[in-house]
Structure formats: C-alpha cells, structure tokens
Structure 1
Amino acid sequence: MADERFRRPAAHEDLLAALAAKDGPFAHMYEAMMFAAMLGMQRGQRTPFEKTEERINLSRVENRKFGDVLLALLAASDSPDDPEILSDDRLDDRIKIFEEYANTGLSYLQGELNASGGRDLTELVSGLVMEALTEPTNADKNLVSEILNAGDLAW
C-alpha cells in the first residue's frame, strides 16, 4: 500500500499551492485535498478529471488521524449499496472517489475565491468551517448516523 498515490487535478494546481503556502490555511497539499474532498462531498457531487500534476503518496493521508476513515466514509456514503467498496481490492475505487470529491471541493473554493474578489484563503476556509459547524446544509440528514444505522452498528 506504500506505493499507492492519489492524483492532484492540474486545473487547481495554483489553488492547491496557495492553500498550502507558508501563509495559507494548510501546511501541506494533501491536507488541502482532504478538506476539499469533504467540501465536495458536502456539495454532493464528484467531478472527474484527466489532467493531473504530481501524485501524492496515499500514506500521507492514511497517517493523519482519521485519514483512512475519511476515505472509507467518502466511499461508503457515495456507494451505500456496495459494501464491497470497503474491501482491500477496491482501494483504487476509494482513491478515485476521494480525488473526484476533492476536485469538486477545489472548484467550489476557486469559485468562492473568484466571487469574493480575491478574499484571503485562510478567511475563506475558516468561514466554510464555521458554516459547516453552525449550520448543517441538510439538518435532516446526519450521514454518520445513516451509515451506522444502515450497517446496524452502535457507536
């Protein structure tokens, strides 16, 4: 698994560099990708892409606290009728889901940045985090509870 890598969308390379710059909100590009993937999932859309930049070693995400869980949750929520999505031989599918949600999230961030006339990225990301913490986009839908209930799991 150490050789597994995920792609960075070339269309968002400048944004990723800014997000992970010295004065950016993230220390590393993979952290920005993780945030963007969750933002993309929140938007409810996966955006495929072909053109990529240098790949990032997947172990960087998996070594983050709950990084491996992030990939599993994205895949499980994206494919609720496919429990095999979590099997070891479907890692490539989980990576693709992560990449495509991240691409959507990066597109959304770029759109917000463009609409704001160049607002500070840290301020933009902080605002999105606060918005997510204070006002769920869909109060009727608690994704974690749905996953636990679907699998007849207890917390």
Structure 2
Amino acid sequence: MSASKIRIAKDKADFVKALTISKETTGPFQTYADVMVFAAALGAKRKKRSPLGEISKRDPLPIGIEIFISRGYDAVIKLLAIAETKNTQILSPNDENSEEQRIHIFEEYANGGLEILQDELRGTVNYSETLLLLLISEKGKREEIEGEFDLTRFLS
C-alpha cells in the first residue's frame, strides 16, 4: 500500500498550492492532503467526478497514501469507493486492483471538487471566508432537503 500515490491534475496544481498555508499564501488548509480530501468530499456531495488528464510533475507532486492514512483520511477514500461501486469487495486488502480502483475514484472526485472550488472561489481574495460561506450554504441546502419542520427558524 505504501507505493500508492494520490495524483493531482496539472491544471489544478497552482490552485491546490494556493489553498494551503505557505510562505507565499494564506490558504485555509494545512496540507495538500487536506485540500484533496475536502475537494473529494465536495465532488462526491455534488456528484462530480472528473478525469485528471495530465498529472502534475512538479509541486505538488503525487501524495503518498501513507499521508492520508496517518491523518485518518483513508476512511474517506474507502467510503467514496463503496458509495461509488456499491460493492464492499473494493475494500479487499488482498486485491491490488481494488486499491488502484479506490484511489482512482478518490482522485476523480477530488478533481471534480477542485473544479467546483475554482468556480466558487474565482475572483475571491480571502479563500477562508468564501469557503465558510460555501459550507454554510451547503448546510442550509441540507436542512431544506430534510424537510423536517423546525420551529427554531422562527426564533430570531
């Protein structure tokens, strides 16, 4: 499992760098892995998978799966794979093809999520503030969909 890597599309590389904290940027995420997991979750939520195309061969380089495991993100990768394939056999530790398939699904959801984020954050100076507004908006959509009558809406 240690030889596996999560790749980033070349056309999203600069955007991923801009979303992380560094000497040059004040992005909302600490690591590239954090960005990729957030983007994959957003891509899955909005049902957007996008092929990677050309892979970034410079910073950010492909991220070792062990980084995701150490941060507890391997669960997200596995859950996305199960949700996409509707097959728990994709979790098989003995099948190398299953791991490749899980990573492929994750990469495409992350790439789709990055496309959504690029659209949502276009022209934004403060990514953190706009991401917060995006999260609040997504939460509001979920509450509307659940359809439960909530009296707290009238308490202001």
Smaller-chain TM-score range?
Answer: 0.7 to 0.9
Cα 1:127/1:47, change in 2 over 3 Å: same
Tell me how many residue pairs correspond in the alignment. 136
Structure 1 residues without counterparts, runs of 5 or longer: 141-155
Deviates more, 1:121-130 or 1:28-37: 121-130
Q: 2:62 is paired with a residue of what secondary structure?
A: strand
Q: CA deviation at 1:123?
A: 1.2
Cα distance in 2 between the residues matched to 1:56 and 1:16: 12
Report % sequence identity: 33
| 1:73 aligned partner | 79
Instruction: Give the direction of change, closer, same or farther, for the CA distance of 1:113–1:36 in structure 2 (3 Å limit).
Output: same
Task: Return the TM-score normalized by structure 1.
Answer: 0.80
Higher strand share: 1
Tell me the SS of whatever aligns to 1:96: helix
Structure 1 residue 58: Cα displacement: 0.8
Match of 1:45, SS state, is coil
Query: Following superposition of structure 1 onto structure 2, how do residues 62-141 of structure 1 map, counting pairs within 5 Å?
Result: 62-65=69-72, 67-80=73-86, 82-88=87-93, 89=95, 90-114=98-122, 117-136=123-142, 139=145
Which residue is 1:41 aligned to?
44
Hey, what's the Cα distance between the residues in 1 that align with 2:79 and 2:116? Answer: 21
Structure 1 residue ranges (4+ consecutive) displaced by more than 6 angstroms after TM superposition: none
Change in 2 beyond 3 A, CA 1:47/1:131:
same
Partner deviation per Cα, 1:29-88 (whole Å, 9 max, x = no partner) = 1110000000000111211122111211111111113x12101110111111x2221212
Mapped partners of 1:6, 1:138: distance in 2: 35
2:10, 2:55 within 8 Å by CA — same for their partners in 1?
A: yes
Q: CA RMSD in A?
A: 1.7
Distance between the aligned counterparts of 1:95 and 1:120, measured in 2? 31
- Partners of 2:145 and 2:83 lie apart in 1 by 17
Q: Which residue of 1 aligns with 2:17?
A: 17
Deviation at 1:137, TM superposition (A): 7.9
TM-score (norm 2): 0.80
